[in-house]
Amino acid sequence: MRALTFTPDLSFETVPDPVPAPSQALVQVSAFSLNFGEIAFRSPDARPGHVPGWDAAGVVVQPAADGSGPAAGTRVVTFGWSGAWAELRAVDTAELAVVPGTVDLGQAAALPVAGVTALQAVRRLGPVAGRRVLVTGASGGVGRFAVQLAARAGAHVIASAGSPARAAGLPELGAAEIVIGPENLRGRVYGVLDNVGGPQLAQAFYRLEDDGVVMAIGRAAREATVIDFELAGTRSARGRIENFNVTAPFGADLAHLVGLLADGELDVRVGLRGPWDRAREAAEALLSRRVAGKAVLDVRRAS
Ligand SMILES: NC(=O)c1ccc[n+]([C@@H]2O[C@H](COP(=O)([O-])OP(=O)(O)OC[C@H]3O[C@@H](n4cnc5c(N)ncnc54)[C@H](OP(=O)(O)O)[C@@H]3O)[C@@H](O)[C@H]2O)c1
């Protein structure tokens, strides 16, 4: 089959078809989305023929041998730590969700890592109804889902973006306020969903309420965070930073997000969409902050 691999730049390679384990379904991939982390933080020593990619949607061509999961012909969205950027993907049936015929597979492909991360991180904040929640990197993949899901949970959402242009569309997703960087935030916040790290994480921490919490999700800034715990007048009494990592199994959370999408209650902002031949260009656009939301690539089979 054809797959995109880092050889060393993103390019097509012919690799063996995946051999599913008994608990895995084989899926013909229609579309996948790109995530910042799988490109920016990829392992420099990937073995030859290794197929990267976390998020993919498509159609089951071979159900799992152990009888779990959907039948052949079912449309699904899948989450895994490799194998998405290919014509075929073997995926554990605990890590997929069925996609109804009314939902475009390209939209569904945008959900896995970014959507489930945002959902689990909002949940980790605890009850946020009526509380102020700051989302950094709100213009990105995780950020746009986080704004919507925190607003759905009743939070007063403050979306932080790099510029007014990068913040376009965020009020429509549920942001009550926009700030250009957390340093411009007025007042304190109960919760922070931080996708940027570096100085933005420090600035967000300084603005916590006494029992506030920062979910340290990402480090898109690729900079270390320096916090001055002695900075006069800036520190909350008990505010804390929690290390956040999206946690398996993902199937149930993915199904919840697909349901919201199908009901028109979740807006998947696909800021870039094109054929998978344009993966290199799309990856470059994502890393250089030129994608509003998610980048989705459609898999075209060679005729
Ligand atoms: N811990 C976990 O389980 C988990 C799960 C998913 C993702 N992540 C991490 O979360 C972060 C966000 O992921 P994502 O998929 O949402 O990425 P994304 O779509 O690329 O969005 C990242 C956002 O960060 C902002 N940003 C600020 N400084 C940046 C810089 N120097 N370079 C690039 N972006 C910068 C950008 O917004 P502006 O241009 O508006 O400033 C951008 O929209 C990444 O670090 C990713 O690895 C972690």
DSSP states of 41-107:
T--TTPPTT----SEEEEEEEE--TTS-SPPTT-EEEEE-SS--SBSEEEEEGGGEEE--TTS-HHH
pLDDT class of 8 with cuts at 50, 70, 90: confident
**Within the chain, which residue ranges are assigned CATH 3.40.50.720?**
114-243
- Choice from 42, 55, 196 to test ligand 1 binding pocket (greatest atom count within 8 A of CB): 196
C-alpha Rg value of the chain to the nearest Å: 19
This prediction's pTM: 0.98
What pLDDT does residue 303 have?
65
The residue type of 184 is N
> From the CA of 251, how far away is ligand 1's center (Å)?
23
CA distances to 21, 23, 71, 88 from 67, in Å: 12, 8, 9, 20
Q: Is the CB of 246 under 6 A from ligand 1?
A: yes
CB 87 within 8 A of CB 1: yes
Kindly state the greatest CA–CA separation across the chain.
66
CB 76 within 8 A of CB 105: no
Mean pLDDT of 271-284: 97
Is the confidence at residue 51, as pLDDT, over 90? yes
Domain 114-243: assigned CATH number = 3.40.50.720
What pLDDT does residue 125 have?
98
CB 39 within 8 A of CB 55: no
Number of the ligand 1 atom closest to the C-alpha atom of 217: 1
The CATH architecture one would assign to domain 2-110+268-298 is Alpha-Beta Complex (3.90)
**Within the chain, which residue ranges are assigned CATH 3.90.180.10?**
2-110+268-298
CA proximity to 279, closest of 84, 118, 131: 84
Is the confidence at residue 235, as pLDDT, over 90? no
